[in-house]
Amino acid sequence: MSHLINAGWDPGRLNNKLYIDSGHKIINMNAICSGYERRNLEEEVGETINFLDVEVYQEEEFLGRYFVGGMAYKHHRGDLRWAASGIPKFEYEDHNYDEIIKMVTHLALSQFDVRDLHKKAAFRLGTGSPTEEYFENPEVLEKFAQIMRKPYKVRFLHPIFKEAEVEVVIPKMYFKPEGTASMISMAYGEDLSRKEEITRAFEKGHKIICINIGSSTTDVAMMLPDMTFDSSGFFGISVGTSNALNQVRSQLYKDYGYDISKIKLDFLIRKYKKVSYKGNIIDLESISKRPMEDMLALLKTRFFDQLELRGIVPGEAGAVYFSGGGITFIEERLENFIHGVATKLSIDPLFEDARGYFLETKINEILEERASTEIFDADEYDECLGVE
């Protein structure tokens, strides 16, 4: 399976992230709508990710024409679809192909090459879902993986792609809880070597807690000194940045009549801090401060409640690692989250899960290649060696 391209796909509530390697990362809005013929007077130019107007086929079946990501957000006709809160990301029903379309479109985009407009690409794909969803809906994940083993063809319709077509197939697909992906990413380098600070903590017998703060959920995982995960340390908390962003949206509408979507607000706070609206300079960073503090306070309460319920002693941790896009709003307030325990923040929080899923595929690639060279299984080796 050495011909498979390793990739990590993180289907976030607001943004989708794809990680092929450290030099190839894609982020786009988690949005989709039906595609249609638009009337353009002038040639459109820009990044290809902004022009995902595609036709998608599953084997020979035509699934439809779609606008994906930012294209959908900008050009939808009242039919924009987001990932609905409370619905498993990989729930598959007849004629509901949204997650499939978004996934294969971005995988195809990652392989677009103007020098080769008709390509075929096979992937070993790592991905995941919120912790509670992962453990409660394993049959949903398996069914989705089976569907993704079929070949898909993505035809790019916007002129910027010069009629490119990419066939995508995913014969190998692995799922992990979101918290574990972040922990793996923060513990290992791209070459799968363990990072020194992890080794030092584990040599002292400490556990490491990873907290991944997303839009709708926060996922927790705990790694033990033998580099395995503590089964009692897996849990999800229904708290994320959406709580705070919705409060900010309400305040903006009340004070300024500014009706703004959550995805746009999220983007503006991260990038610009202040915006101008109808002659008013609005300090988004200042307005969002209190809602974010309230969100963090609620998160801490529920986090420590879960630790107590599970018999986990916080002080046994050697460090608490934070990842996920949510930390970019509150990073200065995360120090000493667990009293007396060192805090480490991700340097690439938006992509930490996607990179963790990517590293999982590399690990599985090694295991698969190793297994393919074995003639006998472990019991047969014992028999040959005369081990009782």
Check residue 3 and give its pLDDT.
Answer: 86
pLDDT > 80? residue 1? no
C-beta separation of 171 from 149 below 8 A: yes
Q: Where are the beta strands (DSSP E) in 313-356?
A: 317-323, 342-345
- Crossing angle of helices 284-309 and 262-271, rounded to 10°: 110
Average pLDDT, the chain: 89
CA dihedral of 141, 143, 145, 146, whole degrees rounded to 10: 170
Residue 99 in tokens:
């997650």
pLDDT at 112: 97
Which token pair is 94? 């007849």
- Work out the percent of the chain whose per-residue pLDDT is above 90: 68
The CA distance from 252 to 231, in Å, is: 43
Contact 48, 161 (CB under 8 A): yes
Q: What would the DSSP string read from start to end of 102-171?
A: HHHHHHHHHT-BTTBSEEEEEEEEEEEE-HHHHHH-HHHHHHHHHHTTS-EEEEE-SGGGTT-EEEEEEE
**Top-confidence residue, 381 or 360:** 360
315: confidence class by pLDDT, cuts 50, 70, 90:
confident
- Using alpha carbons, select from 292, 386, 300, 283 the residue that is nearest to residue 330: 292
* DSSP single-letter state for residue 315: G
What average pLDDT does range 281-292 have in this prediction? 95
Which residues, listed in sequence order, are joined to residue 280 by a DSSP beta bridge? 277
| pLDDT tens-digit readout, 116-155 | 999 999 999 999 988 888 888 888 889 899 999 999 999 9
Whether residue 193 has pLDDT greater than 80:
yes
**What is residue 383's predicted lDDT score, i.e. its pLDDT?**
46
**Beta bridge partners of residue 172, listed in sequence order:** 124
List own/partner pairs for 36-40 with CB under 8 A and 24 or more apart: 36/65, 36/77, 38/75
pLDDT digits (tens, 9 = 90+) for 59-73: 999 999 999 999 999
